[in-house]
Amino acid sequence: MLAIKTTETIQNESIFGQLTTLEHEQLLVCQDKDTGLKALIGVHNTVLGPALGGTRLWSYASEEAAIRDVLRLSRGMTFKNALAGLNFGGGKAVLIGDPKLKTEAYLRRFGRFIESLGGRYVTAEDVNMKTADMEYIALETRHVTGLPKNKGGAGDPSPVTAFGVYMGMKAAAKKAYGSDSLAGKKIGVQGVGQVGKYLINYLVKEGASLYITDIDHEKLQEIAAGTGATVLGNEEIYDHQMDIYSPCALGGTLNDHTIERLTCQVIAGGANNQLEDENKHGKMLLERGITYAPDFLINAGGVINVGAEYYGEYEEKTVFAQTEKIYDTCLSILTAAEHQQIPAQEAAIQAAKARIEAIGRIKLAY
Ligand code: NAD
Protein backbone atom coordinates (compact mmCIF):
# COMPACT_ATOMS: atom_id res chain seq x y z
CA MET A 1 0.00 0.00 0.00
CA LEU A 2 1.55 3.31 -1.13
CA ALA A 3 0.64 5.22 2.01
CA ILE A 4 3.46 3.56 3.92
CA LYS A 5 6.13 3.88 1.25
CA THR A 6 8.13 7.00 0.47
CA THR A 7 9.05 7.96 -3.09
CA GLU A 8 12.64 6.98 -2.37
CA THR A 9 11.65 3.45 -1.36
CA ILE A 10 9.51 3.04 -4.47
CA GLN A 11 12.34 4.24 -6.72
CA ASN A 12 14.59 1.46 -5.46
CA GLU A 13 12.11 -1.24 -6.40
CA SER A 14 12.19 -3.35 -9.57
CA ILE A 15 9.90 -2.33 -12.44
CA PHE A 16 7.29 -4.90 -11.46
CA GLY A 17 7.74 -3.84 -7.85
CA GLN A 18 6.95 -0.24 -8.79
CA LEU A 19 3.98 -1.27 -10.94
CA THR A 20 2.62 -3.31 -8.05
CA THR A 21 3.17 -0.64 -5.42
CA LEU A 22 1.66 2.13 -7.51
CA GLU A 23 -1.08 -0.22 -8.77
CA HIS A 24 -0.49 0.13 -12.52
CA GLU A 25 -2.15 -2.06 -15.11
CA GLN A 26 0.48 -1.73 -17.81
CA LEU A 27 3.73 -0.14 -18.92
CA LEU A 28 4.47 -0.22 -22.65
CA VAL A 29 8.11 0.23 -23.70
CA CYS A 30 8.47 1.36 -27.32
CA GLN A 31 11.52 1.98 -29.52
CA ASP A 32 12.14 2.74 -33.16
CA LYS A 33 15.73 2.83 -34.39
CA ASP A 34 15.07 4.78 -37.60
CA THR A 35 13.38 7.75 -35.94
CA GLY A 36 15.20 7.55 -32.58
CA LEU A 37 11.90 7.11 -30.77
CA LYS A 38 12.11 5.90 -27.18
CA ALA A 39 8.72 6.01 -25.53
CA LEU A 40 7.06 4.74 -22.38
CA ILE A 41 3.29 4.57 -22.10
CA GLY A 42 1.90 4.07 -18.62
CA VAL A 43 -1.65 2.82 -18.26
CA HIS A 44 -2.49 3.13 -14.60
CA ASN A 45 -6.18 2.35 -14.31
CA THR A 46 -8.97 1.90 -16.87
CA VAL A 47 -11.94 1.18 -14.60
CA LEU A 48 -13.67 4.47 -15.45
CA GLY A 49 -12.76 4.38 -19.15
CA PRO A 50 -9.79 4.69 -21.52
CA ALA A 51 -6.63 5.96 -19.83
CA LEU A 52 -6.34 9.64 -20.77
CA GLY A 53 -3.24 11.74 -20.20
CA GLY A 54 -0.76 13.77 -22.20
CA THR A 55 2.63 12.96 -23.66
CA ARG A 56 5.72 14.63 -22.20
CA LEU A 57 8.95 14.94 -24.20
CA TRP A 58 11.98 15.36 -21.95
CA SER A 59 15.73 14.70 -21.88
CA TYR A 60 15.65 12.48 -18.80
CA ALA A 61 18.86 12.01 -16.86
CA SER A 62 18.31 8.24 -16.85
CA GLU A 63 15.86 5.55 -17.92
CA GLU A 64 14.95 5.13 -14.24
CA ALA A 65 13.97 8.79 -14.04
CA ALA A 66 11.75 8.44 -17.11
CA ILE A 67 10.08 5.32 -15.69
CA ARG A 68 9.50 7.06 -12.40
CA ASP A 69 7.99 10.05 -14.17
CA VAL A 70 5.62 8.07 -16.40
CA LEU A 71 4.44 5.97 -13.45
CA ARG A 72 3.86 8.95 -11.16
CA LEU A 73 2.20 11.04 -13.84
CA SER A 74 -0.12 8.28 -15.09
CA ARG A 75 -1.20 7.47 -11.53
CA GLY A 76 -1.92 11.16 -10.95
CA MET A 77 -4.10 11.18 -14.07
CA THR A 78 -6.25 8.38 -12.63
CA PHE A 79 -7.03 10.51 -9.59
CA LYS A 80 -7.37 13.72 -11.61
CA ASN A 81 -9.86 12.22 -14.07
CA ALA A 82 -11.83 10.47 -11.32
CA LEU A 83 -12.21 13.63 -9.20
CA ALA A 84 -13.15 15.72 -12.23
CA GLY A 85 -16.09 13.35 -12.75
CA LEU A 86 -14.74 12.19 -16.12
CA ASN A 87 -15.31 8.76 -17.58
CA PHE A 88 -11.62 8.28 -18.25
CA GLY A 89 -8.97 6.26 -16.51
CA GLY A 90 -5.42 7.47 -15.99
CA GLY A 91 -2.47 7.20 -18.34
CA LYS A 92 0.51 9.18 -19.52
CA ALA A 93 3.32 8.82 -22.02
CA VAL A 94 6.88 10.06 -21.94
CA LEU A 95 9.20 10.43 -24.90
CA ILE A 96 12.84 10.22 -23.89
CA GLY A 97 15.19 12.53 -25.71
CA ASP A 98 15.83 15.95 -27.15
CA PRO A 99 12.82 17.92 -28.43
CA LYS A 100 14.80 18.28 -31.69
CA LEU A 101 14.06 14.57 -32.39
CA LYS A 102 10.48 15.54 -33.13
CA THR A 103 9.93 14.91 -36.85
CA GLU A 104 6.82 13.87 -38.72
CA ALA A 105 8.06 10.25 -38.86
CA TYR A 106 8.93 10.23 -35.14
CA LEU A 107 5.49 11.50 -34.13
CA ARG A 108 3.65 9.20 -36.54
CA ARG A 109 5.64 6.19 -35.32
CA PHE A 110 4.62 7.11 -31.79
CA GLY A 111 1.01 7.40 -33.01
CA ARG A 112 1.19 3.83 -34.29
CA PHE A 113 2.28 2.59 -30.87
CA ILE A 114 -0.70 4.38 -29.33
CA GLU A 115 -2.95 2.76 -31.94
CA SER A 116 -1.53 -0.66 -30.98
CA LEU A 117 -3.18 -0.25 -27.58
CA GLY A 118 -6.57 -0.26 -29.29
CA GLY A 119 -7.98 2.72 -27.37
CA ARG A 120 -6.82 1.74 -23.89
CA TYR A 121 -4.71 4.92 -23.91
CA VAL A 122 -5.67 8.34 -25.30
CA THR A 123 -2.97 10.98 -25.62
CA ALA A 124 -2.85 14.79 -25.66
CA GLU A 125 -0.16 17.46 -25.25
CA ASP A 126 2.08 17.99 -22.24
CA VAL A 127 5.53 19.54 -21.74
CA ASN A 128 7.32 20.06 -25.10
CA MET A 129 4.35 18.74 -27.07
CA LYS A 130 2.08 21.14 -28.93
CA THR A 131 -1.30 20.94 -30.62
CA ALA A 132 0.52 20.76 -34.00
CA ASP A 133 2.30 17.57 -32.85
CA MET A 134 -1.07 16.00 -32.10
CA GLU A 135 -1.97 16.50 -35.78
CA TYR A 136 0.84 14.13 -36.86
CA ILE A 137 -0.09 11.60 -34.19
CA ALA A 138 -3.70 11.81 -35.38
CA LEU A 139 -2.63 10.59 -38.83
CA GLU A 140 -1.92 7.19 -37.26
CA THR A 141 -4.45 6.87 -34.44
CA ARG A 142 -7.90 8.07 -33.44
CA HIS A 143 -6.89 7.94 -29.81
CA VAL A 144 -5.55 11.47 -29.58
CA THR A 145 -7.13 14.73 -28.47
CA GLY A 146 -6.03 18.33 -27.95
CA LEU A 147 -5.97 19.11 -31.67
CA PRO A 148 -5.79 22.69 -32.97
CA LYS A 149 -9.06 24.57 -33.44
CA ASN A 150 -8.61 24.74 -37.22
CA LYS A 151 -8.46 20.92 -37.28
CA GLY A 152 -11.72 20.51 -35.40
CA GLY A 153 -10.09 20.35 -31.98
CA ALA A 154 -10.58 22.50 -28.91
CA GLY A 155 -7.13 24.11 -29.06
CA ASP A 156 -4.86 25.03 -26.14
CA PRO A 157 -6.36 23.75 -22.84
CA SER A 158 -4.28 26.12 -20.65
CA PRO A 159 -6.95 28.84 -20.21
CA VAL A 160 -9.33 26.21 -18.81
CA THR A 161 -6.60 24.76 -16.59
CA ALA A 162 -5.90 28.24 -15.22
CA PHE A 163 -9.60 28.81 -14.50
CA GLY A 164 -9.74 25.55 -12.52
CA VAL A 165 -6.62 26.50 -10.55
CA TYR A 166 -8.26 29.85 -9.79
CA MET A 167 -11.39 28.04 -8.53
CA GLY A 168 -9.26 25.71 -6.39
CA MET A 169 -7.30 28.65 -4.98
CA LYS A 170 -10.52 30.42 -4.00
CA ALA A 171 -11.83 27.28 -2.30
CA ALA A 172 -8.57 26.89 -0.37
CA ALA A 173 -8.71 30.56 0.63
CA LYS A 174 -12.27 30.02 1.88
CA LYS A 175 -11.03 27.17 4.04
CA ALA A 176 -8.01 29.04 5.36
CA TYR A 177 -9.45 32.55 5.79
CA GLY A 178 -13.23 32.03 5.94
CA SER A 179 -13.68 34.05 2.73
CA ASP A 180 -12.83 33.15 -0.85
CA SER A 181 -11.98 36.71 -1.78
CA LEU A 182 -8.41 37.08 -3.03
CA ALA A 183 -8.53 40.87 -2.93
CA GLY A 184 -5.41 42.22 -1.24
CA LYS A 185 -3.91 38.76 -0.78
CA LYS A 186 -0.19 38.53 -1.47
CA ILE A 187 0.11 35.76 -4.05
CA GLY A 188 3.36 34.36 -5.45
CA VAL A 189 3.08 32.73 -8.86
CA GLN A 190 6.06 30.56 -9.82
CA GLY A 191 6.13 30.16 -13.60
CA VAL A 192 4.40 32.61 -15.91
CA GLY A 193 3.97 30.18 -18.81
CA GLN A 194 0.64 29.19 -20.32
CA VAL A 195 -1.14 28.33 -17.07
CA GLY A 196 0.58 30.99 -14.96
CA LYS A 197 -0.19 33.87 -17.30
CA TYR A 198 -3.92 33.08 -17.59
CA LEU A 199 -4.13 32.55 -13.83
CA ILE A 200 -2.51 35.93 -13.24
CA ASN A 201 -5.27 37.60 -15.28
CA TYR A 202 -7.91 36.28 -12.87
CA LEU A 203 -5.85 37.30 -9.85
CA VAL A 204 -5.28 40.83 -11.16
CA LYS A 205 -9.03 41.24 -11.77
CA GLU A 206 -9.69 40.27 -8.15
CA GLY A 207 -7.23 42.82 -6.81
CA ALA A 208 -4.59 40.43 -5.48
CA SER A 209 -1.11 41.71 -4.78
CA LEU A 210 1.09 39.73 -7.15
CA TYR A 211 4.65 38.42 -6.93
CA ILE A 212 6.02 36.49 -9.89
CA THR A 213 9.09 34.50 -10.83
CA ASP A 214 10.29 32.57 -13.88
CA ILE A 215 13.60 31.41 -15.36
CA ASP A 216 12.56 33.10 -18.62
CA HIS A 217 13.42 36.72 -17.83
CA GLU A 218 11.92 38.17 -20.98
CA LYS A 219 8.55 36.58 -20.31
CA LEU A 220 8.76 37.65 -16.69
CA GLN A 221 9.40 41.31 -17.50
CA GLU A 222 6.60 41.30 -20.06
CA ILE A 223 4.06 39.97 -17.55
CA ALA A 224 5.33 42.34 -14.84
CA ALA A 225 4.96 45.32 -17.16
CA GLY A 226 1.42 44.29 -18.12
CA THR A 227 0.17 43.60 -14.60
CA GLY A 228 2.27 45.64 -12.16
CA ALA A 229 3.38 42.42 -10.43
CA THR A 230 6.57 42.46 -8.35
CA VAL A 231 9.35 40.30 -9.77
CA LEU A 232 11.12 37.89 -7.39
CA GLY A 233 14.25 35.79 -7.90
CA ASN A 234 13.83 32.04 -8.47
CA GLU A 235 14.75 31.16 -4.87
CA GLU A 236 13.27 34.31 -3.32
CA ILE A 237 9.76 33.01 -4.02
CA TYR A 238 10.18 30.52 -1.15
CA ASP A 239 11.33 33.10 1.41
CA HIS A 240 9.26 36.14 0.61
CA GLN A 241 6.41 36.90 2.97
CA MET A 242 3.14 35.99 1.23
CA ASP A 243 -0.35 34.58 1.81
CA ILE A 244 -0.61 32.17 -1.10
CA TYR A 245 2.07 30.30 -3.04
CA SER A 246 1.09 29.10 -6.50
CA PRO A 247 3.51 26.65 -8.16
CA CYS A 248 2.86 26.85 -11.92
CA ALA A 249 6.22 25.71 -13.31
CA LEU A 250 7.56 22.22 -12.67
CA GLY A 251 6.79 19.57 -10.04
CA GLY A 252 8.65 18.71 -6.83
CA THR A 253 8.88 22.26 -5.45
CA LEU A 254 7.34 21.22 -2.13
CA ASN A 255 10.22 19.39 -0.53
CA ASP A 256 12.63 19.21 2.42
CA HIS A 257 14.39 22.39 1.30
CA THR A 258 11.39 24.62 0.64
CA ILE A 259 8.52 23.78 2.99
CA GLU A 260 10.17 25.13 6.11
CA ARG A 261 10.93 28.42 4.33
CA LEU A 262 7.37 29.10 3.19
CA THR A 263 5.42 31.75 5.09
CA CYS A 264 2.12 31.26 3.24
CA GLN A 265 -1.11 29.83 4.66
CA VAL A 266 -2.32 28.45 1.30
CA ILE A 267 -0.71 26.57 -1.59
CA ALA A 268 -2.67 26.27 -4.83
CA GLY A 269 -1.07 25.99 -8.24
CA GLY A 270 -1.19 24.29 -11.63
CA ALA A 271 2.07 22.30 -11.71
CA ASN A 272 1.78 18.51 -11.61
CA ASN A 273 3.33 16.50 -8.74
CA GLN A 274 4.15 19.48 -6.52
CA LEU A 275 4.90 17.29 -3.50
CA GLU A 276 8.31 15.74 -4.04
CA ASP A 277 7.25 12.89 -1.76
CA GLU A 278 3.50 12.77 -1.45
CA ASN A 279 3.45 11.11 1.97
CA LYS A 280 6.27 12.89 3.72
CA HIS A 281 5.69 16.37 2.31
CA GLY A 282 1.90 16.19 2.47
CA LYS A 283 2.29 15.51 6.18
CA MET A 284 4.80 18.33 6.61
CA LEU A 285 2.29 20.81 5.14
CA LEU A 286 -0.41 19.54 7.49
CA GLU A 287 1.89 19.92 10.48
CA ARG A 288 2.74 23.46 9.44
CA GLY A 289 -0.96 24.31 9.18
CA ILE A 290 -0.75 25.17 5.48
CA THR A 291 -3.92 24.60 3.45
CA TYR A 292 -2.81 22.67 0.38
CA ALA A 293 -5.10 22.33 -2.65
CA PRO A 294 -3.91 19.06 -4.27
CA ASP A 295 -2.52 19.72 -7.76
CA PHE A 296 -4.34 16.90 -9.56
CA LEU A 297 -7.62 18.12 -8.13
CA ILE A 298 -7.35 21.77 -9.15
CA ASN A 299 -5.44 21.53 -12.44
CA ALA A 300 -8.06 19.27 -14.07
CA GLY A 301 -9.49 22.00 -16.35
CA GLY A 302 -7.17 20.99 -19.18
CA VAL A 303 -8.20 17.36 -19.13
CA ILE A 304 -11.87 18.32 -18.86
CA ASN A 305 -11.28 20.34 -22.04
CA VAL A 306 -9.49 17.60 -24.03
CA GLY A 307 -11.85 14.91 -22.70
CA ALA A 308 -14.87 16.76 -24.10
CA GLU A 309 -13.07 17.11 -27.42
CA TYR A 310 -12.30 13.36 -27.55
CA TYR A 311 -15.94 12.42 -27.07
CA GLY A 312 -16.97 14.93 -29.76
CA GLU A 313 -19.13 16.93 -27.38
CA TYR A 314 -17.04 20.07 -27.02
CA GLU A 315 -18.82 23.23 -25.95
CA GLU A 316 -16.73 25.93 -24.29
CA LYS A 317 -19.50 27.03 -21.93
CA THR A 318 -20.08 23.48 -20.68
CA VAL A 319 -16.37 22.87 -20.22
CA PHE A 320 -15.98 26.01 -18.09
CA ALA A 321 -19.09 25.10 -16.09
CA GLN A 322 -17.68 21.65 -15.37
CA THR A 323 -14.34 23.18 -14.41
CA GLU A 324 -16.06 25.60 -12.03
CA LYS A 325 -17.14 22.57 -9.97
CA ILE A 326 -13.49 22.24 -8.86
CA TYR A 327 -14.38 24.89 -6.26
CA ASP A 328 -16.96 22.66 -4.53
CA THR A 329 -14.90 19.48 -4.87
CA CYS A 330 -11.84 21.20 -3.43
CA LEU A 331 -13.78 22.63 -0.51
CA SER A 332 -15.34 19.27 0.32
CA ILE A 333 -11.97 17.48 0.16
CA LEU A 334 -10.28 20.09 2.34
CA THR A 335 -13.13 19.73 4.84
CA ALA A 336 -12.83 15.93 4.82
CA ALA A 337 -9.07 16.23 5.38
CA GLU A 338 -9.66 18.60 8.29
CA HIS A 339 -12.19 16.26 9.93
CA GLN A 340 -9.90 13.27 9.62
CA GLN A 341 -6.76 15.26 10.42
CA ILE A 342 -5.03 13.86 7.32
CA PRO A 343 -3.13 15.59 4.50
CA ALA A 344 -5.39 17.00 1.76
CA GLN A 345 -3.53 14.90 -0.82
CA GLU A 346 -4.54 11.73 1.06
CA ALA A 347 -8.16 12.88 1.32
CA ALA A 348 -8.23 13.61 -2.43
CA ILE A 349 -6.83 10.17 -3.26
CA GLN A 350 -9.41 8.56 -0.96
CA ALA A 351 -12.24 10.39 -2.75
CA ALA A 352 -10.89 9.46 -6.19
CA LYS A 353 -10.52 5.81 -5.21
CA ALA A 354 -14.02 5.76 -3.75
CA ARG A 355 -15.49 6.88 -7.10
CA ILE A 356 -13.40 4.36 -9.05
CA GLU A 357 -14.42 1.52 -6.72
CA ALA A 358 -18.11 2.47 -6.80
CA ILE A 359 -18.21 2.70 -10.60
CA GLY A 360 -16.13 -0.47 -10.87
CA ARG A 361 -18.76 -2.32 -8.83
CA ILE A 362 -21.67 -1.23 -11.03
CA LYS A 363 -19.77 -2.50 -14.07
CA LEU A 364 -19.75 -6.03 -12.60
CA ALA A 365 -23.43 -6.40 -13.47
CA TYR A 366 -24.30 -7.28 -17.07
P1 NAD B 1 4.76 26.31 -19.75
O2 NAD B 1 5.98 25.61 -20.25
O3 NAD B 1 3.97 27.16 -20.68
O4 NAD B 1 5.15 27.24 -18.49
C5 NAD B 1 6.02 26.85 -17.49
C6 NAD B 1 6.80 28.09 -17.10
O7 NAD B 1 7.61 27.76 -15.97
C8 NAD B 1 7.75 28.58 -18.19
O9 NAD B 1 7.55 29.96 -18.38
C10 NAD B 1 9.14 28.26 -17.64
O11 NAD B 1 10.13 29.20 -18.05
C12 NAD B 1 8.87 28.35 -16.14
N13 NAD B 1 9.85 27.65 -15.31
C14 NAD B 1 10.45 26.44 -15.55
N15 NAD B 1 11.28 26.14 -14.52
C16 NAD B 1 11.17 27.14 -13.62
C17 NAD B 1 11.76 27.40 -12.36
N18 NAD B 1 12.64 26.56 -11.81
N19 NAD B 1 11.41 28.54 -11.69
C20 NAD B 1 10.54 29.39 -12.23
N21 NAD B 1 9.94 29.21 -13.43
C22 NAD B 1 10.27 28.10 -14.12
O23 NAD B 1 3.85 25.17 -19.09
P24 NAD B 1 2.32 25.26 -18.68
O25 NAD B 1 1.50 24.67 -19.75
O26 NAD B 1 2.02 26.63 -18.17
O27 NAD B 1 2.28 24.24 -17.46
C28 NAD B 1 2.78 24.60 -16.18
C29 NAD B 1 2.62 23.43 -15.25
O30 NAD B 1 1.24 23.08 -15.15
C31 NAD B 1 3.35 22.15 -15.65
O32 NAD B 1 3.80 21.48 -14.51
C33 NAD B 1 2.27 21.33 -16.35
O34 NAD B 1 2.54 19.95 -16.29
C35 NAD B 1 1.08 21.71 -15.49
N36 NAD B 1 -0.21 21.55 -16.18
C37 NAD B 1 -0.47 22.25 -17.30
C38 NAD B 1 -1.70 22.10 -17.93
C39 NAD B 1 -2.06 22.89 -19.16
O40 NAD B 1 -3.23 22.88 -19.55
N41 NAD B 1 -1.13 23.58 -19.78
C42 NAD B 1 -2.66 21.23 -17.40
C43 NAD B 1 -2.37 20.54 -16.21
C44 NAD B 1 -1.13 20.71 -15.61
C-alpha of residue 112 to centroid of ligand 1, in Å: 28
| Residues across the chain | 366
What confidence score (pLDDT) does residue 5 get?
A: 60
The protein residue whose alpha carbon is closest to atom 2 in ligand 1 is 193
Q: Is the CB–ligand 1 distance for residue 305 below 6 Å? A: no
Q: Which residues of the chain have pLDDT under 50?
A: 1-4
Q: Is the CB–ligand 1 distance for residue 273 below 6 Å? A: no
Of 185, 243, 189, 228, residue with least CA distance to 209: 185
Pocket test for ligand 1, best of 92, 128, 190, 214 (most atoms within 8 A of CB): 214
Q: Is the CB–ligand 1 distance for residue 249 below 6 Å? A: yes
Q: Is the CB–ligand 1 distance for residue 214 below 6 Å? A: yes
Predicted model pTM: 0.94
Q: For residue 193, which atom of ligand 1 is closest to its CA? A: 4
C-alpha of residue 247 to centroid of ligand 1, in Å: 9
Q: For residue 234, which atom of ligand 1 is closest to its CA? A: 19
Check: CB of residue 220 under 8 Å from CB of residue 231. Answer: yes
* One-letter amino acid of 6: T
Q: Which CATH architecture has domain 7-76+89-151?
A: 3-Layer(aba) Sandwich (3.40)
User: How many CB atoms are closer than 10 A to CB 285?
Assistant: 20
- 99: DSSP letter: G
C-alpha of residue 191 to centroid of ligand 1, in Å: 6
Q: Is the CB–ligand 1 distance for residue 196 below 6 Å? A: yes
**What backbone torsions phi and psi does residue 359 show, to the nearest 5 degrees?**
-70, -35
CATH 3.40.50.10860 residue window(s) in the chain: 7-76+89-151
Binning the chain into helix, strand and coil, the percentages to the nearest 5 are 50, 15, 35
Q: For residue 56, which atom of ligand 1 is closest to its CA? A: 34
Cα dihedral sign, 129-133-138-139: negative
What confidence score (pLDDT) does residue 200 get?
A: 98
Q: Is the CB–ligand 1 distance for residue 78 below 6 Å? A: no
Q: Is the CB–ligand 1 distance for residue 270 below 6 Å? A: yes
Which residues, 6 or more positions from 192, have their beta carbon under 8 angstroms from its beta carbon? 200, 212, 214, 216, 219, 220, 223, 248
- 47: DSSP letter: S
Helix (H, G, I), strand (E, B) or coil at 58: strand
The protein residue whose alpha carbon is closest to atom 1 in ligand 1 is 193
Q: Is the CB–ligand 1 distance for residue 220 below 6 Å? A: no
Report how far residue 297's alpha carbon sits from residue 76's, in angstroms, rounded to the nearest whole number: 9
The crossing angle, in degrees rounded to 10, of helices 278-287 and 344-362 is 130
User: How many CB atoms are closer than 10 A to CB 260?
Assistant: 9
The crossing angle, in degrees rounded to 10, of helices 316-324 and 301-310 is 140
C-alpha of residue 361 to centroid of ligand 1, in Å: 37
What confidence score (pLDDT) does residue 7 get?
A: 63
Q: For residue 295, which atom of ligand 1 is closest to its CA? A: 44
CATH 3.40.50.720 residue window(s) in the chain: 158-300+328-353
- Whether 92 is catalytic: yes
What confidence score (pLDDT) does residue 8 get?
A: 59
Report how far residue 77's alpha carbon sits from residue 46's, in angstroms, rounded to the nearest whole number: 11
Q: Is the CB–ligand 1 distance for residue 192 below 6 Å? A: yes
**What backbone torsions phi and psi does residue 205 show, to the nearest 5 degrees?**
-60, -30
Considering the four listed CATH numbers 3.40.50.720, 2.120.10.30, 3.30.1300.10, 1.10.260.40, the one that applies to the domain covering 158-300+328-353 is 3.40.50.720
Q: For residue 156, which atom of ligand 1 is closest to its CA? A: 40
Catalytic residue among 5, 38, 92, 185: 92
Check: CB of residue 89 under 8 Å from CB of residue 78. Answer: yes
